[in-house]
Amino acid sequence: MSLLTDPSARPFRFGVGLAISDSRQDWVGKCTKAEDLGYDVLSVADHLGNPAPFSALVAAAEATTHPRLATAVLNAGFYNPTLLARDVATADQLTGGRLELGLGAGYVKSEFDEAGLPFLRAKERVDHLDRMTTRLRELFSDPGYKPRPVQPSGPPLWLAGHGNRILTMAAQKADIVGFTGFTTSRDGSSSYLDNLDAVTERVLFARGLLGERLAKVELNILVWRVLITEDRVEEARRLEPLRSLSADEMLRVPSVLIGTPKEIAEQLLEHRERLGITYVTVVERSMAAFAAVIELLK
């Protein structure tokens, strides 16, 4: 496949998930570096021990000009829908309408335990997420709602997950459907990388439910590791003991990217053609390595 991109295809967006903050100076420097490297989206996850998402994103907005700012993703079980709507609207105001709202059902039992919150059954956690998305849409569609988000109907909604119910909900409601590339145990204590067939099945399941909305919805993948190397096979073999995939399987999945920048760019173009994935989020430790790929695909 050539690096020549199809002009009719949805353009790529590239995000980085920032997870470490030792000081304001460190955080600001990290955000400005990501913007300089060409990232379109700066995101913050919602895990105890990481920066608080909304305050971190507001600070990121002050330090940057162009990138969108995303929660990727909030643990819905930590929040009351009405109170969350206030925080979302305020953050959208303070970021100048650059916010994207990522939500998930929550999956790490130990974090619920530490926060003193009940870890409900998976069905109940998804039910809560469903009620939350409905309530947020209701509030933001009310012209009299205050505080008023800058984006008229509220920030774009990003729903991420793996199971049928989450992906069905995302196909019905979301502007962005997120795929983790992982299968996680019920209590969040362990996870393993899905192979390409498993990722493909999940993507095609969601695409089949999108119907006429398919052209309007972005598909996102979380990339666990980016390794720039001239010997991709050897690097995959080195990683093999860390995860459940063989080296050959690891070289094919969209959640691990190994090779030269050109090889990785070709792989992402193939995933866009075959699966429709155009929004790629890498983790913070891969931010610098992935920049050469962004340069090729932009």
For the domain spanning 13-225+261-297, the CATH number is: 3.20.20.30
Q: Which two tokens stand for residue 89?
A: 């609207």
The rounded distance, in Å, linking the Cα atoms of 164 and 148 is: 33
- Give the model's pLDDT for residue 2: 47
Q: CA 283 to CA 257: how far, in whole Å?
A: 12
Cα dihedral sign for 108, 89, 174, 64? negative
Q: How far apart are CA 164 and CA 150, in angstroms?
A: 32
Contact predicate 143/133, CB 8 Å: no
The secondary structure of residue 121, as a DSSP letter, is -
Q: How far is CA 40 from the centre of its chain?
A: 12
Tell me, rounded to whole angstroms, the distance of Cα 150 from its chain centroid.
22
- From residue 208, how far is each of 90, 203, 272 by CA, in Å? 35, 9, 16
Q: Report whether 249 contacts 255 (CB < 8 A).
A: no
Strands 256-259 and 191-193: what pairing? unpaired
One pLDDT digit (tens) per residue for the chain, 298 residues: 445 456 568 999 999 999 988 999 999 999 999 999 999 999 999 999 999 999 999 999 999 999 999 999 999 999 999 999 999 999 999 999 999 999 999 999 999 999 999 999 999 999 999 999 999 999 999 999 999 999 999 999 999 999 999 999 999 999 999 999 988 777 666 778 999 999 999 999 999 999 999 999 999 999 999 999 999 999 999 998 877 799 999 999 999 999 999 999 999 999 999 999 999 999 999 999 999 999 999 9
Q: For residue 8, what are its two tokens?
A: 């009719």
Instruction: Tell me which amino acid residue 275 is.
Output: L
List the alpha helices (DSSP H) in the chain: 24-36, 53-63, 81-94, 109-115, 122-141, 164-173, 196-210, 232-239, 247-250, 261-275, 287-297
pTM of the model: 0.95
Q: Is the peptide bond before 73 cis (omega within 30 degrees of 0)?
A: yes
Q: How far is CA 167 from the centre of its chain?
A: 14
**pLDDT for residue 183:** 85
